[in-house]
Homo-oligomer: A and B are copies of this chain.
Amino acid sequence: MAFEIIFLGTGAATPTLSRGLSAAVVNINETLCLFDCGEATQMQMLRFGVKKDRIRHVFISHLHGDHYFGLIGLLFTYHLHHRSNELHVWGPSLLKEILEIQIKTSVPNLCYPLIFHDIESLPDGTICSEKSFTVTKFPLKHRLPTYGYLIRETGRCGNIKKEFIKQYALDHETIKQIKEGADFITPEGKTIPHEEIVIPTRQHSFAWCSDTAYFPPLIEFISDADVLYHDATFMKDLQGLADEKGHSTTIDAALIASQARVHQLILGHISQRYMDLESFVKEAKSVFQNAEIAFDGMKIKLRN
Interface residues, chain A, with chain B CB atoms under 8 Å away = 13-17, 20-21, 39-40, 42-43, 46-47, 63-66, 69-70, 72-73, 76-77, 80-81, 94, 97-98, 101-102, 105-106, 144
Among B46, B65, B94, B97, the residue within 8 A (CB) of A15 is B46
Task: Determine whether the beta carbon of B46 is less than 8 Å from that of A144.
Answer: no
List residues of chain B with CB within 8 A of the CB of A77. Answer: 14-15
Of A17, A42, A65, A76, chain B has the most CB atoms within 10 Å of the CB of A65
With A14-B77, A16-B46, A17-B47 already in contact, the answer to whether A144 and B106 are too (CB < 8 A) is yes
A43 and B72 within 8 A (CB): no
Q: Which residues on B sit within 8 Å (CB–CB) of A144? A: 106
A101: chain B residues at CB < 8 Å are 94, 97-98, 101
Across the interface, name the chain B residue whose C-beta is closest to A73: B39
Complexed CA–CA distance, A14 and B39 (Å): 14
CB distance from A212 to the nearest CB of B (A): 17
A63 adjacent to B105 (CB under 8 Å): yes
Report how many copies the assembly holds.
2
Task: Please report the C-alpha to C-alpha distance between residue A81 and residue B14 in the assembled complex, in whole angstroms.
Answer: 9
Report the Cα distance A125→B23, complex, angstroms: 43
Q: Shortest distance in angstroms between A51's beta carbon and chain B's nearest beta carbon?
A: 15
Per the bound structure, the CA–CA distance linking A47 and B16 in Å amounts to 9
B73 and A106 form a contact (CB under 8 A) = no
Cα separation A193 to B234 with both chains bound (whole Å): 65
Q: Is B65 within 8 A of A106, CB to CB? A: yes
Least Cβ distance of A93 to chain B in Å?
11
The 5 listed contacts between A and B (C-beta, < 8 Å) are A14-B80, A40-B43, A64-B106, A66-B76, A98-B105
* Residues from chain B with Cβ under 8 Å of A16 in the complex: 46
B105 close to A39 (CB less than 8 A): no
Complex CA–CA separation, A98 to B104 (angstroms)? 11
CA gap between A15 and B42 in the complex, in Å = 8
A44 to chain B, nearest CB (A): 9
Measured in the bound complex, the distance between the Cα atoms of B16 and A76 in whole Å is 14
> In the complex, A20→B44 CA distance in Å?
12
CA distance A40 to B17 in the complex (A): 12
Cα–Cα, bound, A14→B105 (Å): 17
A40 to B8, CA, bound (A): 14
Distance in Å: Cβ of A69 to nearest Cβ of chain B: 5
Given contacts A81-B14, A101-B97, A101-B101, contact A39 B70 (CB under 8 A): yes
| CA gap between A80 and B73 in the complex, in Å | 22
Q: Which chain B residue shows the least CB distance to A104?
A: B94
Evaluate contact between B42 and A17: CB separation under 8 angstroms: no
Residue of A21, A72, A102, A144 contacting most chain B CB atoms (<10 Å)? A102
Chain B, residue nearest A39 (CB)? B73
